[in-house]
Amino acid sequence: MVGDSLSDFNAAARAQLPVVMVSWGYSQGADLHELSAAAVINQIDQLLALLPESPK
């Protein structure tokens, strides 16, 4: 899951999904780096490096 807020992080945790937080958007004042997210990215192109390869 990709999110920009504490609500997104909590939803992913409840669903037992890994979450990548983006540094732009509605962070609700939370320090996203303090969350146990899989990653915090600053640009959307950074997401590609975090995705697993598709089976061919």
Residues 28, 5 contacting (CB under 8 angstroms): yes
- In single-letter form, the type of residue at position 48 comes to L
- Residue whose structure tokens are 């990548």: 20
For the sheet containing 20-22, what is the strand order?
2-3, 20-22, 39-41
The pLDDT of residue 46 is above 90: yes
pLDDT at 29: 80
Write down the domain spans for the chain. Answer: 2-50
Per DSSP, the chain holds a count of helices (H) and strands (E) of: 1, 3
Convert the pLDDT of each residue in 1-38 to its tens digit.
Answer: 999 999 999 999 999 999 999 999 887 788 999 999 99
Q: Say which DSSP state 40 is in.
A: E
pTM: 0.84
Phi, psi of 35 (to 5 degrees): -80, 160
